Amino acid sequence: MARTILVVDDDASARSVLQGILEPEGYDVILAESGEHAVALASTLQIDAFLLDIEMPRMDGFDLCRALRSMESYRVAPIIFLTGHAGDNFLEQAFGCGGDDFLLKPCTATGVRSRLRNHLQRGEHLQRLERMRGVLKQYLSKRTLQVVEDASVTGTLPPPREQDLAICFTDMRGFTAFSEETEPARLFALISETLAEQIHLIHECGGYVDKFGGDGVMAIFDGPQMILESCLCALQILDIARVNSTSGMEEIRGFGIGIHAGRAIIGNIGSPEHLDYSAIGSTVNLAARLCGQAEAMSIAVSKTVRDAVAHDNRLKFHSERPVSIRGIKGPVTIYSLSHP
């Protein structure tokens, strides 16, 4: 596929020379006589690289470069300046505004072609990295992605740390029996759609998905409002499930949800060959056990959760009861959470 190059120069003869150098190499060359014209073209076309004259009336090359870099499509596109001189002040301005390189006038055909080719190859590499990052965002939680990006800069993985977290587990009731009587393609589509709705609500409420558990999720909330956010999120998940049960998605048998809050260790778990950035500890374990205690279309929360947000009139806590939790000595007091 031919690459599109935008040549910007207020000198018509200079534009023609560059066009004559690039078109025989298979480039699609677009010409602009001013910075304003170039911005208009860049906004409507997909440009692969820019050759910018510096000295132009109204909008000079530096201002044009800044305008291009402010556009999402051209954050990493090659921008090469054309200039008759290259002193220290020029270099500082050229690279300070986002330029990648410069060519001294009069430009030679070899210089233009080689510089442009090298920068296009570099640009392709950066675009692949951007696309990879976009894909990783879909596969990794926002916290894991942040850890990966930080580690790529520092070269080291962060140590595990103890932190206050609110943990929310969801689980579809009757999933095993349901999966046995449902075609795999239908099952996959239904679970994917259901999880997508939960993910959207979790992010909207300020949390993030730590991991999927087949038909449910483990969500983490942090920050000063983490317990309230997790409770409101759980209520919205059940609201959506009720809507689904009356709108052609009767296969959804209902969710059980468990919420607990407290200290947990969050960090990298695994080996150098495969790591998972997650939270572990008794707080996480109890939240998972509470999910198991919740009946279909109900939310079970710990006393810690209830005591922290009992004053909020958007929440109703009821059905206080002691339960035996595997691995925990003595009964645990839990509550059901619902709308008032």
In sequence order, the 6+-apart residues with CB closer than 8 A to the CB of 299 are 231, 234, 235, 238, 256, 257, 258, 259, 336, 337, 338
Same domain for 167 and 132: no
User: What pLDDT sits at residue 99?
Assistant: 92
123 with 21, same domain?
yes
Angle among Cα 107, 112, 114 to the nearest 5 degrees reads 140
Residue 147 lies in a domain: no
Tokens of 173: 């009731």
- Asked if the model's pLDDT at residue 302 lies above 90, the reply is yes
Identify whether 146 is part of a domain. Answer: no
As given in the structure block, the two tokens for residue 117 are 């080719």
Whether residue 198 is contained in a domain is answered as yes
Interval 316-323 mean pLDDT: 95
Cα–Cα dist 81/103, whole Å: 6
Are 207 and 334 part of one and the same domain? yes
Using alpha carbons, list the distances in angstroms from residue 96 to 52, 136, 164, 313, 323.
Answer: 15, 30, 42, 53, 64
With respect to residue 196, please indicate whether it lies within any of the assigned structural domains. Answer: yes
pLDDT higher than 50, residue 154: yes
Domain of residue 215, CATH code: 3.30.70.1230
Query: Count of domains in the chain?
Result: 2
| Domain C-terminal end among 105, 139, 173 | 139
Do 230 and 127 belong together in one domain? no
CATH of residue 37: 3.40.50.2300
pTM of structure: 0.71
Last residue of a domain, one of 80, 115, 139: 139
Q: What is the DSSP letter of 48?
A: S
User: What is the amino acid identity at position 317?
Assistant: F
Which of 139, 171, 201 is the endpoint of a domain?
Answer: 139
**Lookup result for tokens 């201002």:** 63
The parent domain of residue 24 ranges over: 4-139
In this prediction, residue 250 carries a pLDDT of 52
**Amino acid 248: pLDDT:** 43
Please write down the long-range contacts of 294-297, taking CB distance under 8 Å and 24 or more positions apart.
294/171, 294/256, 294/257, 294/258, 294/336, 295/173, 295/256, 296/173, 296/174, 296/253, 296/254, 296/255, 296/256, 297/238, 297/241, 297/242, 297/254, 297/255, 297/256
Shared-domain flag, residues 34 and 68: yes
Long-range CB pairs of 105-108 (<8 Å, 24+ gap) are 105/14, 106/17, 107/17, 107/18, 107/21, 107/82
pLDDT at 245: 61
Highest mean pLDDT among 5-19, 83-97, 147-161, 262-276: 5-19
pLDDT band of residue 119 (cuts 50, 70, 90) is very high
Give me the pLDDT at residue 288, please: 94
Residue type, 289: R
More confident residue, 138 or 82: 82
What is the C-alpha to C-alpha distance for residues 39 and 16, in angstroms, rounded to an integer?
20
Considering the domain architecture, whether residues 73 and 159 belong to the same structural domain is answered as: no
Nearest to 164 by CA among 257, 85, 75, 230: 230
